[in-house]
Structure 1
Amino acid sequence: MSRIRCYLTITLLLIIASSASALNCPSNCKCFWVLDSLCVKCANKGLTEYPNFSDLPIDHLDLSGNNFDHFPTQFATIESLVYLDLSNNNISQLDANALIGFTTLRVLLLANNNFNSWSDLNPTEAFRNAISLKHLSLSGNNLETVTDFNSDQTLISDSLTNLELEHCSITTVGGDHLINGLPALERLSLSGNSLTTLNNIPSGSLRGLELSNCSLLRIPTALIDGLPNLEKLNVSRNFAMEIKDVIISETLLELDASFCSLDTINLSGFPSLSHAYLRGNMLRILDQNTFANNTQLQTLDLAKNSLRNIQTNAFVKLTHLATLDLSYNEIALLDKNLFRANDVLVSVNLSHNVMEKFTKLVSNSLREINLSGCEIIMIDANAFTGLSVIQRLDLSKTLIKEFPPNMHSETLQRLDLSNCKLSSIRNTTFSGFPELAWLYLSGNRFTNPIPTEYFRSNHYLDAIWISDNPWVCNCHDPTFIDFYDFLTAVPQKLKDRNYVRCASPSYLYGKTWEAACGSVWIPNGRSSKVEKAWTVIMLCFLGICVGTLLYTGFKRFRKSRRQRRNREEYRQNRDEMMEIRAQNQRMLEEPATPNAPNFFQNNLPSYEDAIRMPKLERPAKSMVDLTETGHTRRKLRRSQTNPDGDIEDADLLLDDRQRFRSEEMLSNRVKERTANITPFARTGYVAYSNSRSRRLSVEGARFPAAHLKSQNLQSAEKIANFQGFEHSPYTKRRPKVAEIPPFKRATMRTDSVEFLTDPEFDDHSKPGSPFARRKPKAPTTPAGATTTLADSPLAPAVEDYFGRVSKLRDSTSDDSDFQVVVDAENSSLVELHNTSSSGGGNSATNLERGRRKKRLNSTNRRASGNFTAAAAAAGESSSTSSDRDPIVVVHKPMRETLF
């Protein structure tokens, strides 16, 4: 703890020093903070010139004990200055304007300077400027008088509340200057002046008046009458003063008349008196009339008087008395009922009286009794029976030789028997004090150790003093060993361990118990369990520390070795890299072959380089579409989609064209779809189209083209192992052939396989479809028509993969992906269209021109795209042969499987 306190002190000093240095404190001063106030102390430095504080926010400034000869008016700029101490200097003059600017100053100390008269202070003008001044000290100056006979010497201050004029050689006090010049004055100190005349001091605000050591002979009645609010009066150490006359003050609360040689006293005129200090007088008797009118007394000090006789009813009327001091008197006997009526009395000091016996006292409130220094030689056996709440009993420095046994007190906590003449203790001496906590036995005549069984009933005993006794140190005595263990066991009860010494045998005289018996107790295993436990704990702690150090060292060794290995590896890698770099540099510097291709342009990019290459943000049809920008690209897009510039159709066509790149790929796709794939060996050759697209020739091809694998065709292995239709893995699952209703044939887009194969899939199953609200019209068949859609064979919804592909093409279809199906239901629509188109020649010519445009555009469109071109082709074929049945264009399903 001492080391921690030392560290804290050093830290505090460093903080103070750093704060002082940070505040730019002058060299001859000390700057420190007290809470949030900055204090600067420059006292007793012998300074003759005021230091420069460079605008420090000073609250308290101490410049006492120096050699300043004028008032520091320059400190008026310190707006936070509250306390200014200029006492014990050589200031002899205070100008009228000296305190201008000290608006926050509250305390001004000018004691012990060289002011020789009130005129040197300019009292009428100087202190008016300090509007917040509360406390002014002019003690130790030669002011001689405090009167209003001369108006130029009247002190004027509207805010002053405390005025100190001690030891100012004042001989005359009087007048009404306190009313006129100091309207807020509350405390006036005139102690230490030889007052020969004490006149009336009328003041309605004065509450405290100190006239100590003033050579007063009496207290003038007119003085007390002029102070209607006086609460505290100090007339102590006026050795010739007498208080015989009745002095009346209804407001006086505290009276100090100590050391005034009073043999009689009359306090009946102070009914509100609560604190009376009458120490050091010559009072001899106390009767029932002494404090008859002072019923509010709480503290009464009658020490160092000559009291011999205290009547039983002397304190009966003091119902509020709490503390009574009767020490250093000549009291020999006290009545047991002396304090019975004082229900709030707590402490009584009866020390240094001449009582020879501690007798019974009755009190239900008394907690502390001091009988030290008395001449008590015996204690009454029933002394504690009347003290029901006694807690502290001091019987030190008495003549008691034996403490009576079997005494009982349920509340006694502290018992002082030090410096008595006790030599032995019985087993029942302290057994009647179960709450005993502190026991003083030092300075007695104990020689033998006290058996520990004597303290068996004192469960709360935690402090014992046994020093200054002539102990006989028999180190082999078990009682002595047990007594020492009882006192030193944790928590330690022995409070003066270093002062407990041996008196015998002679060779151990003056030694402590540990020094005298340590050599005997330790070899014989005298160490206590606590010491063993501490030894084990310390050994474990040392073992843990050593293990921690070894583990830390091992970890540091492994870390350093790993770092060294990493540094070596890094060095090797760096050397290798530098060697490779030098080799590459040499290769670059070698003369190259003339006209040799660049190394980076000749080699193909690696996989990582290809991954990092920029990718197209949109699909491109050709290099022209990729390189051209702006107006040229938009023009090209219009020309490829719609000659008339229809933007909406162009967008749709562009979306459908994203999977195919040119007309040649459409034609190649038709040939590859219709080619028969046979399971014989591959004998074909690689052919290249005009666009340089690589594909296998159809003749002799064993496997399908690579791009047909994305259309869910059979794998090459199954095709190669084909032995016959009956051995096909798809014989167990034959594709369903569903009849497509006429309405679906006319409107379907073959978006899914379920649309073609599921007979339950109908328009009314989709409530959100526009066909759910539109009922199909009844078929209007001509009268002479006998062919129906039911009679005509339907194309299968799923193409037989292993069957022969029948090519139903028209001479004008140009290998399109559509087939002609006779639809009886839509014959009326076709006839209606033919009827309307046969109206005039101009309309036929326009129709023919439109059909030519559509035939030209149909070759550039995707097979799965818009049905407009197919419909136009169907219309053309119907116009050439009017005898043919009405047709509906249906998309031929691509070669695909259901697995």
Structure 2
Amino acid sequence: MRTTYLRWLLFLLIIVQYLNGSRSCFENERNALLSFKRSVSNPSFTSLSSWGASRNDDDCCKWEGIGCDNRIGHVVALHLGDNEGLQGEISPSLLHLRFLNFLDLSRNEFDTIPSFIGSLDKLVYLNLSYNNFSGNVPPHLGNISTLKYLDLGNNYIIDGQELEVVDTLEWISHLSSLEYLNMDWVDLHSVPDWLHSISKLSLLRTLSLSSCDVPSPPSSSLLHINSSTFLQHLSLPDGNIATFPLLNLWLNQSYFLEYLDLSYNHLVGGEKDIKFLRHLGNLKTLDLSYNSFSFNFSQLILGSEKLIEILKLHDNKIVGSLDDTREFNSLRELNLENNQLSGSLPDMSTMLSLEIFAIGNNTFNGNLMGSNIGHLSNLKCLDVSSNSLDGAISEISFSNFSKLNVLILSDNSLTVNLGIHWIPPFQLSGLGLRSCELGPKFPNWLHTQTKLDTLDISNNGISDLIPQWLTNLSNLVYLRASQNRIRGKLPNIPSTMYLVD
């Protein structure tokens, strides 16, 4: 994944070389750009306001968002993305830009993809994401055989209309140079040949099909899957991928895969259904969250256990203990929330790269600090809430947590003993200490946490005056301090507060 994006970053840097070139642009190309400007709404409030603003401003190579090749003087890049807010028609005058190889119209409000874009036959980069496009994706895009980057993703549904591919995706198999394809939120429900067509893209490195509602391919087509051996990034969340034979056949060949997201797919299965993970020897990110997997955690065999950095298995039905976690010593994120895991925490002192550790809402027990979790100096988020963990937590327990941003210890059997004059080594944005026996004094150290936006100290046996410095926590939007014996004058509640209990 990282290699692919570095390649496109290099390509963008090459395009930047063209910007504001020393040669004047050609008259027909200048006229084509002005025609494009006239066809869109509100151009005066965007970078288009610089186009032909005066009689002396006739060099379109110096206009904002335009890139020209310094050697030949032709317009080669049109970069009008990043929330320009353009509306109206995409003018066919762009066809006069015969050397155009970079077109970015993302993050605007266009509503129709014109079929003439398929005639821009020198395009290498085409980004039409984050618009209001609806209707059929024109199959004419399959004529741009030079395309390496195609992004049609995240177009917003307007009045029930969405961007869709009808009947067949065969045209995409003609894009033999394609390395990056994003079709997030493009409706593919009527396209049985989606996998057969995409698998012909032998150079594809990144594929994202989030929320595409893809149908199960016919069993006959599974025999002819010829997946790209270069595939590094595969994102299929909420895509209705509900068949393990499909995943096993497809992903058995994807040895170079580094990123795999299969979240929100209603997958129901056990250890035997995810055998394909054993063949993914370069996997660094795995997201199987929000499914119904029911395997034992110790049965999770990854071909990349020494390389895996992000492991998201939350919101499943996974059982067992974490005794084998120590093998994953490259982990930066481990999220196992909302499962059925149990037992005590293992010795975590070898997992020094861990930044996010979330195991809330399981049935873990034993002494939290006895797991040597205090050694994890890179932790940014620690959530062990709603378990049966016990033990005392003192100031020294947090002494290595200088990077901590979110701390949630709620609903265990923990006792938090922190001195009245203690100054934490961290600045938190989220803190959950419900039922942690903080009382009887109000935790004075909270006044140092000026970045807090979420605070829950309910049911803590606090019997004290409510402090006036609470209003100094100016970022606070969510406060729970119920089920205590707090008394005194309520301080002024800022209007930015969303919830106060």
Q: What interval of TM-score do these two structures reach, taking the shorter chain for normalisation?
A: 0.5 to 0.7
Q: Within 5 Å, which residues of 2 pair with 1:430-579? A: 438=404, 440-444=407-411, 449-450=416-417, 465=431, 467-469=433-435, 471=437, 473-474=439-440, 508=464, 510-511=466-467
Aligned counterpart in structure 1 of residue 253 of structure 2, from 258, 271, 293: 293
- Give the number of aligned pairs: 388
Q: Deviations over 1:344-377 (max 9, x none)?
A: 211111222233554333534442343354144x
Q: Which has the higher strand share?
A: 2
Contact 2:260 2:287 in 1 (8 A): yes
Contact 1:133 1:159 in 2 (8 A): yes
Q: SS of 2:278's equivalent?
A: coil
What is the Cα-based RMSD across aligned positions, in Å?
5.2
Evaluate the alpha carbon distance shift between residue 355 and residue 494 of structure 1 in structure 2; reply closer, same or farther with a 3 A threshold. farther
- Paired residue for 1:163? 103
Contact 2:248 2:276 in 1 (8 A): yes
Contact 1:360 1:385 in 2 (8 A): no
Contact 2:393 2:417 in 1 (8 A): no
- Paired residue for 1:135? 78
Aligned counterpart in structure 2 of residue 245 of structure 1, from 193, 196, 211: 196
Q: SS of 2:286's equivalent?
A: strand
Contact 2:51 2:63 in 1 (8 A): no
Matched, 1:206 2:147: yes
Contact 1:502 1:512 in 2 (8 A): no
Q: 1:421 deviation in Å?
A: 5.5
Evaluate the alpha carbon distance shift between residue 360 and residue 305 of structure 1 in structure 2; reply closer, same or farther with a 3 A threshold. farther
- Paired residue for 1:338? 300
Evaluate the alpha carbon distance shift between residue 297 and residue 133 of structure 1 in structure 2; reply closer, same or farther with a 3 A threshold. same
Aligned counterpart in structure 1 of residue 386 of structure 2, from 412, 415, 420: 420
Contact 2:238 2:263 in 1 (8 A): yes
- Paired residue for 1:304? 264
Contact 2:410 2:435 in 1 (8 A): yes
Q: 1:394 deviation in Å?
A: 2.6
Q: Within 5 Å, which residues of 2 pair with 1:354-373? A: 354-355=317-318, 357-362=320-325, 363-371=327-335, 373=337
Query: What amino acid maps onto 1:195 in structure 2?
Result: N
Bigger CA radius of gyration: 1
Aligned counterpart in structure 2 of residue 262 of structure 1, from 186, 199, 214: 214
| In structure 1, C-alpha distance between the alignment counterparts of 2:462 and 2:392, rounded to whole Å | 28
Q: 1:230 deviation in Å?
A: 1.6
Q: SS of 1:508's equivalent?
A: coil
Q: 1:384 deviation in Å?
A: 4.6
TM-score (ref. length: structure 2): 0.60
Query: What amino acid maps onto 1:208 in structure 2?
Result: Y
Q: 1:195 deviation in Å?
A: 2.1
Gaps of 5+ in 2: 1-18, 20-42, 154-161, 472-484, 489-501
| In structure 1, C-alpha distance between the alignment counterparts of 2:315 and 2:401, rounded to whole Å | 25
Gaps of 5+ in 1: 1-36, 38-61, 79-99, 110-128, 147-152, 520-899
Query: What amino acid maps onto 2:233 in structure 1?
Result: H
Query: What amino acid maps onto 2:101 in structure 1?
Result: T
Evaluate the alpha carbon distance shift between residue 356 and residue 131 of structure 1 in structure 2; reply closer, same or farther with a 3 A threshold. same
Identity of aligned residues (%): 12
| In structure 1, C-alpha distance between the alignment counterparts of 2:278 and 2:168, rounded to whole Å | 29
Q: 1:219 deviation in Å?
A: 5.2
Q: SS of 1:163's equivalent?
A: strand
| In structure 1, C-alpha distance between the alignment counterparts of 2:123 and 2:450, rounded to whole Å | 58
Aligned counterpart in structure 1 of residue 45 of structure 2, from 38, 42, 64: 64
| Greater RCO, CA 8 A, separation 6+ | 2
| In structure 2, C-alpha distance between the alignment counterparts of 1:238 and 1:330, rounded to whole Å | 25
Q: SS of 1:280's equivalent?
A: coil
Q: 1:466 deviation in Å?
A: 6.2
| In structure 2, C-alpha distance between the alignment counterparts of 1:323 and 1:293, rounded to whole Å | 17
Query: What amino acid maps onto 1:135 in structure 2?
Result: L
Q: SS of 2:135's equivalent?
A: coil
Evaluate the alpha carbon distance shift between residue 250 and residue 360 of structure 1 in structure 2; reply closer, same or farther with a 3 A threshold. same
Contact 1:501 1:511 in 2 (8 A): no
| In structure 2, C-alpha distance between the alignment counterparts of 1:301 and 1:211, rounded to whole Å | 19
Contact 1:370 1:393 in 2 (8 A): yes
Contact 1:332 1:354 in 2 (8 A): yes
Q: Deviations over 1:317-343 (max 9, x none)?
A: 212211111221222334425344203
Evaluate the alpha carbon distance shift between residue 219 and residue 64 of structure 1 in structure 2; reply closer, same or farther with a 3 A threshold. farther
| In structure 1, C-alpha distance between the alignment counterparts of 2:459 and 2:466, rounded to whole Å | 6
Contact 1:402 1:423 in 2 (8 A): yes
Query: What amino acid maps onto 1:141 in structure 2?
Result: G
Contact 2:289 2:312 in 1 (8 A): yes
Q: SS of 2:371's equivalent?
A: coil
Query: What amino acid maps onto 2:255 in structure 1?
Result: T
Q: Deviations over 1:118-159 (max 9, x none)?
A: xxxxxxxxxxx9844621659643469x7xxxxxx7712144
Contact 1:105 1:132 in 2 (8 A): no
| In structure 2, C-alpha distance between the alignment counterparts of 1:416 and 1:157, rounded to whole Å | 54
Q: Within 5 Å, which residues of 2 pair with 1:66-105? A: 73-78=52-57, 100-105=58-63
Q: Deviations over 1:261-318 (max 9, x none)?
A: 2354777422211111101122235464331121121111111111222535321221
Contact 1:366 1:387 in 2 (8 A): no
